[in-house]
Amino acid sequence: MTLAHVIGYPRIGADRELKRATEAYWQGDIDQQALEAIGRDLRLANWAAQREAGLDLVTVGDFAFYDQVLDVSVLLGAVPARFGAEEEVARGEVALDTAFRMARGRAPSGEPAAACEMTKYFDTNYHYLVPELRPGQRFRLASSRLFDQVDEARSAGHPVKVALTGPLTWLWLGKGRSDAGDDFDRLALLDGVLDVYVEVLQRLAGQGVEWVQLDETALVQDLPLAWRQAFERAYHRLQAAPVRLLLASCFGGLGDNLSLAVGLPVEGLHIDVVRAPAQLEAVLDRLLPHKVLSVGAIDGRNVWRADLALLRERLATARMRLGERLWIATSCSLLHVPVDLAAETTLDAELGSWLAFARQKLDETAALARLLDGRATAAERDRVEAASRALQSRREAPRLHRPEVAERMAGITAADIRRRSPFAERAVAQQRHLALPLFPTTTIGSFPQTAEIRADRRAFKAGELSCEAYEARMREEIARVVARQEALGIDMPVHGEPERNDMVEYFGEQLDGYAFTRFGWVQSYGTRCVKPPILFGDVVRPAAMTVRWSEYAQSLTARPMKGMLTGPVTLLQWSFVRDDQPRETTCRQIALALRDEVVDLEAAGIRAIQIDEPALREGLPLRRAEWQGYLDWAVECFRLAASGVRDETQIHTHMCYSEFNDIIESIAALDADVITIETSRSAMELLDAFQDFAYPNAIGPGVYDIHSPNIPEVAWMVALMEKAAERIPVERLWVNPDCGLKTRGWAEVEPALANMVEAARELRRRH
Ligand code: GLN
Ligand code: ZN
C-alpha cells in the first residue's frame, strides 16, 4: 500500500481565521486562552481535512502562530538576551508573548525590544525569523507546544507524523554574530543543537510517534564541505533516537548533495520531483533497500491541477521498484498555496477547473497513491478522468495561446533590447530636455495611501462609488500630491500612485492572461497574507494602463513628471505563473506589454519613466550554477520593456534592499539611466559594489529609511550623500528616499521631504 502524506498544510484557515484571531489578541480584544482555542480548532480542522481526503498520516508541527522557524528557535531555547526570557527558558516553557516579542518587538505582555530580523525563506515569498546565533550559545528544550500538539492529534484519533525544520537547516537559516559584530562558524553550535533535537525525538517517541520528518531544505543549495560533513555527523548522532526519520528536501534537486542525502542513516528520504523530476531515477538507483522514498509529485508551490493520469504513468516504475516503500506527497509544504478553491465562487468555471489549492491537493495526493496501488474507487477514477478532461481543455484553450503574441515573440530582434545610443550620449540628450540641477531630487513613486483613498477604493469596488466619481477622487489626490511636491521643490515629481492597490495587482487587473482570486490568500509573514494573481495565459495589454494618470499629473506641473510601472520580472515573481511554458517566455510576454506602455507614456509627453524591479534579486535560483541563466533573461526582459523609447526619455528603475555585490554586472546590464536603491540602512556601503564595478549610469542611493517614522535630519542626509560622492561622481547622483512612501503618513512625509530637498540644496552649494 502506497502511503500518502503532505509535507505541511497552511495554518491561516480558509478565511484567514488565524490572522484575525492573532491580531485581535495583540489588540487586547481576546485573551490568550481564546487565541489558543482558535489555534487548536484550526489544527483539528486541518488534520480532519487530511484524513477525510484519505491521507495515511496527518502532519503535526506545521502550525505556528507566527512562523515555524521561530517556533524551532523557541523549542531550542534560542531566545536572544534582550527579551529577558532566561527564566522561561530555564523552566522549559517560553511564553507565547515572548515569541511574539521576538517576531514583532512587542506583545500584550513583556517589555518591548528590537524584533529579530526577518527574511525570505529560500526562493519563496514566505518570510521567516532569522535565528540569532552567538559564539558559545547554549540550547535547551524550552517549549512543550509541539508535544501538546502531538497529544491533541493523537486524542483526536489521528495517525501522526511530526514535521520539524532539521538541525542543519535551522543553523543554515541562522545568522551568527559575535559581540564584535563579525560572522563566526555556526557549525560550532551544532552539538548543542543536536542535544536538544535528540531530547525532542526521544520525547516524541515516548508519545508514540513513529515518523518524524526533518526538513533539510539546505540540501538543495550549494553546501560548503564543512556543512556536508556536518550532515553526516548530525544524522549519525540522531540515528540513536527511537523514531524513524524522514529527511525532507524541497524546492529543488539534491544535485551534488544526492550521494550525501541518500547515504545518511535515516529511514526515509523525501524528494521534490516537481522542481527536479530527473532526480527520481538517480535516487531510485541509489536508495538502500530498507529505505522509504517519499516522492513529492503534487506541486506545493503552484496552483495548477495535477495531471494524475500522467503522474501514475511516470511513477509506475518507482512503484514497481519500491513496492510499499513508496510514499506519495506534495513537493513541499502547502503553506505556499491558497487554502481552498471551493471558496472561489466568482472564478470562471473553465479556469477554476484547471486549478487546485491546498485542500484539493490533499485529494490529489491521496488519489495518486491509490491509483498507483490499483485500488482507486470508481469515484476516484472518475476524478482522474475529470482532471484529464480539464487539463486537455487547458492545453487547447484559445485564451492561453494567442497567435498575435507568438508572432510578436518570434519577431523580437537584438535592436529591440538595446537603447539607441549608449548612456553617455543619452545623458546629454536627457539633460538638454530635462534641465535638472546637480543632485536632482525625486521619490520612489507612492505617496501615503490615506484612509480616504482606501475607503474610496473599497466603495468603488463595492459598486457604491461610480467609476467617474472614483476617478475624479483619484485625480484630486494626484493634484494634491503634485502641488505638495511643487511646494517642497522636488525636481522630478511623481503622481503618487493613489489609484493602485498593489503594484502587481494593479497591472495584472489590466492585462489579459491574468486572473484574480477572491480568497486566494497565502501567508507572507506573521499575520500578513498576500493574494498573488494567477498568470494563466498569453499576456496582452488591451489598452494603455497608466497613461491617463501620468498625463494628467504632467498637465499640472512644468517639472518633468516621472511615469511609474512595475517591471516584468517583478510582475512574474509575485504571481502564480503558468507551468506549461518556461518562466522566461511568460516574462518576455509581460515585457512586450510593458514596452507598449512605455512607448505610449513617451508619446503622451512623459519624459522619465520608472520601471520598478524590486523582485529581481529574489528571483535568483537556489543554485549558483543557475544564476547566470536566470539573470540573462531577466535583464533581457527589462531591456525589452525599456528600450522602445528615444534617447531623451529617461528610464529609471528601483530596487529595494538587496545585496548587489554578486549581481552588479547584471544590474549594470539593465542599462537604466537612473537606478534608485535602498541604502540608508547600510550607510552607503552598498555603493561599494557599484564603485568597484565602475558602474557607469546614474544612481539614487536612498538617503532615509522610509520604514521608520523618524524624520531624517538635513545634516544626516548630507553626510550620507557625501559618503556616496566619495564613491560615485556627483554628476551621476540623485537624492531620494529609500522606497515608496505609501505606508507613511503625511505628517512624516512632508517634513522628511522638506529636509531632503534642503539637503540637496546644501550639497549643490558644496559641489
Ligand atoms: N513605485 C513603488 C512605490 O513607490 C515601488 C515599491 C517597491 O519598491 N516595492 O510604492
Ligand atoms: Zn523599494
On whether 497 is known to bind a ligand per the annotation, the reply is yes
Q: Is 747 helix (H, G, I), strand (E, B) or coil?
A: helix
Compute the distance from residue 524 Cα to the ligand 2 centre, in Å: 17
Compute the distance from residue 707 Cα to the ligand 1 centre, in Å: 12
CA distance 155 to 655: 50
Give me the residues paired with residue 298 across strands: 330
Ligand 1 pocket residue status of 268, Cβ below 6 Å: no
Give the predicted TM-score (pTM) of the model: 0.95
Q: Looking at residues 439-451, what average pLDDT do you find? A: 97
Cell of 527: 499575520
Comparing 268-282, 365-379, 678-692, which segment has the lowest mean pLDDT?
678-692
**Residue given cell 541604502 in the structure block:** 679
Ligand 1 pocket residue status of 444, Cβ below 6 Å: yes
Cell of 503: 503594484
Compute the distance from residue 656 Cα to the ligand 2 centre, in Å: 4
Q: Quick one: pLDDT band at residue 709, thresholds 50, 70, 90?
A: confident
Which ligand 1 atom minimizes the distance to the CA of 500?
10
On whether 633 is known to bind a ligand per the annotation, the reply is no
Which ligand 1 atom minimizes the distance to the CA of 610?
1
pLDDT of residue 286: 97
Asked if 336 is an active-site residue, the reply is no
pLDDT of residue 380: 85
Q: Roughly what angle, to the nearest 10 degrees, separates helices 190-206 and 145-155?
A: 20
DSSP 300-369: SSS-BPP-HHHHHHHHHHHHHHHGGGEEEEESS-GGGS-S-GGG-TTS-HHHHTTB--HHHHHHHHHHHH
Q: Are 724 and 767 in contact (CB under 8 A)?
A: no
Residue 442: C-alpha distances to residues 190, 484, 580, 690, 762 (Å) = 48, 13, 41, 20, 16
Ligand 1 pocket residue status of 333, Cβ below 6 Å: no
Ligand 1 pocket residue status of 503, Cβ below 6 Å: yes
Compute the distance from residue 444 Cα to the ligand 1 centre, in Å: 6
CA distance 590 to 487: 37
On whether 656 is known to bind a ligand per the annotation, the reply is yes
Compute the distance from residue 504 Cα to the ligand 2 centre, in Å: 13
Cell of 41: 480548532
On whether 528 is known to bind a ligand per the annotation, the reply is yes
CA distance 569 to 564: 15
> Mean pLDDT score of the chain, rounded to an integer?
96
Compute the distance from residue 433 Cα to the ligand 1 centre, in Å: 26
Residue burial 438-451, b: 16+ Cβ < 10 Å; e: rest:
ebbbbbbbbbbbee
pLDDT digits (tens, 9 = 90+) for 570-613: 999 999 999 999 999 999 999 999 999 999 999 999 999 999 99
The closest of 370, 395, 385, 247 to 315, measured between CA atoms, is 370
Q: Looking at residues 717-727, what average pLDDT do you find? A: 96
pLDDT digits (tens, 9 = 90+) for 103-149: 999 999 999 998 899 989 999 999 999 999 999 999 999 999 999 99
Ligand 1 pocket residue status of 702, Cβ below 6 Å: no
Give me the residues paired with residue 59 across strands: 161
pLDDT digits (tens, 9 = 90+) for 34-86: 999 999 999 999 999 999 999 999 999 999 999 999 999 999 999 999 999 99
- Beta carbons within 8 Å of 628's beta carbon, 6+ residues apart: none
Kindly identify the ligand whose nearest atom is closest to the C-alpha of 743: 1
Ligand 1 pocket residue status of 736, Cβ below 6 Å: no
Q: Are 334 and 358 in contact (CB under 8 A)?
A: yes
Ligand 1 pocket residue status of 532, Cβ below 6 Å: no
Ligand 1 pocket residue status of 653, Cβ below 6 Å: no
The closest of 311, 297, 303, 316 to 250, measured between CA atoms, is 297
pLDDT digits (tens, 9 = 90+) for 637-690: 999 999 999 999 999 999 987 788 899 999 999 999 999 998 877 788 889 999
pLDDT of residue 389: 96
ipTM value of the model? Answer: 0.99
Q: Which of 270, 495, 707, 767 is catalytic?
A: 707
Q: Looking at residues 21-31, what average pLDDT do you find? A: 97
Question: Given the DSSP bridges, would you call strands 292-298 and 522-525 parallel, antiparallel or unpaired?
Answer: unpaired
pLDDT of residue 759: 98
Cell of 343: 471558496
Ligand 1 pocket mutation pick from 449, 490, 501, 503 by most atoms within 8 angstroms of CB: 503
Cell of 301: 508551490
Ligand 1 pocket mutation pick from 485, 502, 654, 738 by most atoms within 8 angstroms of CB: 654
Q: Quick one: pLDDT band at residue 179, thresholds 50, 70, 90?
A: confident
Q: Are 270 and 246 in contact (CB under 8 A)?
A: yes
pLDDT digits (tens, 9 = 90+) for 611-622: 999 999 999 999
pLDDT digits (tens, 9 = 90+) for 535-559: 999 999 999 999 999 999 999 999 9
Nearest alpha carbon, ligand 1 atom 1: 445
Conformational region of residue 276, where left means phi above 0, alpha means psi within -120 to 50, and beta covers everything else:
beta
Ligand 1 pocket residue status of 562, Cβ below 6 Å: no
Kindly identify the ligand whose nearest atom is closest to the C-alpha of 567: 1
Q: Quick one: pLDDT band at residue 383, thresholds 50, 70, 90?
A: confident
On whether 618 is known to bind a ligand per the annotation, the reply is yes
